[in-house]
């Protein structure tokens, strides 16, 4: 009986030892395994069994991309302006072995490396360049950090300048400068609008005057054409009357009639005195009868 109990206890202990040394590595993780204190291998995703009392899990490393937001760091520009800049670093562990044995406290090492790199880059730039060259600064920092952290099994994917905070007096000066620039642009736009409006008004007046002149010219042409047509019609009617008169009265009467017309024109002058010969008076009746014939 005691032997049976001992066997059962031994079996339970052996089962506990086996079960306790079974490990399941989750997705996006890697376990660093040491045997007797020395590095042995990396366990990837899946089921693994380690040798009891000989092997141990040195570290559990996440292979996911990490985001670290570092506290603002004081930096000095080339023109001796002190600013506070905080950065955000996106990195990923590519080699769990190098990450485990490469550097003590990798996050602290990345933070210090980021601060020194940022100071070196900003130190070569003036204030205005620092505020307008974020993409350039981000690219330089990512390249430098990625190269420096490669021996640690870390790949830096992105570096972003989260905030750039100049001193208060410089912020006030920048706000005044921006306000003045906006007012200058507003004045330019207003002046351009007034100029455009004046040009449009002048062009409208010019077109109006041209249209009025063309209308007056067309009216004058039409009036002149009407007067010419009326004169032609009068002359035509006069010619036709003479033809009728010549066909109905003797030809020797035409000359005295012409004389009567000349006397009529002379009689229209107020200062003229007209003495009509007796032979022309006898023709007046003839002219009257000729007029009545023309009306018929």
The maximal CA–CA distance of the chain, rounded, in angstroms, is 191
pLDDT for position 166: 81
Partners of residue 150 on adjacent β-strands: none
Domains in the chain, ordered, with CATH? 2-60 (no CATH), 66-166 (3.30.479.30), 249-296 (no CATH)
Looking at residue 295, its pLDDT comes to: 47
Reduced to 3 states (helix: H, G, I; strand: E, B; else coil), residue 163 is strand
Would the pLDDT of 70 be above 70? yes
Q: How confident is the model at residue 2 (pLDDT cuts 50, 70, 90)?
A: confident
Q: Is residue 262 within a helix (H) or strand (E), and if so which, with residue range?
A: helix 254-267
Of residues 28 and 277, the one with the higher pLDDT is 28
Place of tokens 């520009």: 77
**Chain centroid to CA 103: how far?**
50
* Percent of the chain whose pLDDT exceeds 90: 20
The residues that bridge with 160 in the sheet, in sequence order, are: 88
Confidence of residue 294 (pLDDT cuts 50, 70, 90): very low
Distance CA 257, CA 250 (A): 11
Whole-number pLDDT of residue 225: 85
Tell me the mean pLDDT in the region 50-72. 89
Of 185, 170, 148, nearest to 79 by C-alpha is 170
Mean pLDDT of 153-172: 84
Give the DSSP per-residue string, 165-226.
Answer: E--HHHHHHHHHHHHHHHHHHHHHHHHHHHHHHHHHHHHHHHHHHHHHHHHHHHHHHHHHHH
Mean pLDDT of 253-260: 55
CB 255 within 8 A of CB 232: no
What pLDDT shows up at residue 76? 87
**Hey, which residues does 165 pair with through a beta bridge?**
84
Average pLDDT over every residue of 62-70 = 91
Question: Full-prediction pTM beyond 0.75?
Answer: no
What number is the average pLDDT over the span 8-16?
81
d(CA 136, CA 152) in angstroms, rounded, equals 25
Tell whether the model's pLDDT for residue 1 goes beyond 80: no
């Amino acid at each position: 009986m005691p032997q049976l109990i001992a066997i059962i206890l031994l079996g339970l202990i052996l089962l506990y030892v086996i079960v306790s040394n079974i490990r399941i590595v989750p997705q996006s993780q890697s376990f660093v395994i040491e045997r007797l204190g020395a590095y042995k291998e990396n366990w990837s995703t899946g089921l693994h069994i380690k040798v009891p009392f000989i092997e141990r899990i040195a570290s559990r490393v996440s292979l996911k991309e990490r985001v670290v937001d570092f506290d603002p760091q004081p930096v000095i520009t080339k023109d001796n302006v002190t600013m506070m800049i905080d950065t955000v670093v996106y990195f990923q562990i590519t080699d769990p072995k190098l990450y485990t044995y490469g550097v003590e406290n990798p996050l602290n090492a990345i933070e210090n490396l980021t601060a020194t790199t940022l100071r070196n880059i900003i130190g070569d730039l003036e204030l205005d360049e620092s505020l307008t060259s974020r993409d350039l600064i981000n690219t330089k920092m990512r390249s430098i950090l990625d190269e420096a952290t490669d021996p640690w099994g870390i790949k830096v994917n992105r570096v972003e300048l989260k905030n750039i905070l100049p001193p208060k007096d410089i912020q006030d000066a920048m706000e005044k400068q921006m306000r003045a620039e906006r007012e200058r642009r507003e004045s330019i736009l207003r002046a351009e609008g007034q100029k455009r409006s004046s040009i449009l008004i002048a062009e409208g007046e010019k077109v109006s005057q041209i249209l009025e002149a063309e209308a007056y010219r067309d009216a004058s042409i039409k009036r002149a054409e009407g007067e010419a047509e009326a004169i032609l019609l009068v002359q035509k009617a006069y010619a036709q009357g003479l033809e009728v008169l010549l066909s109905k009265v003797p030809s020797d009467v035409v000359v005295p009639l012409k004389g009567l017309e000349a006397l009529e024109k002379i009689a229209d002058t107020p200062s003229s005195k007209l003495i009509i010969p007796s032979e022309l008076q006898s023709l007046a009746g003839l002219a009257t009868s000729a007029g009545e014939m023309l009306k018929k």
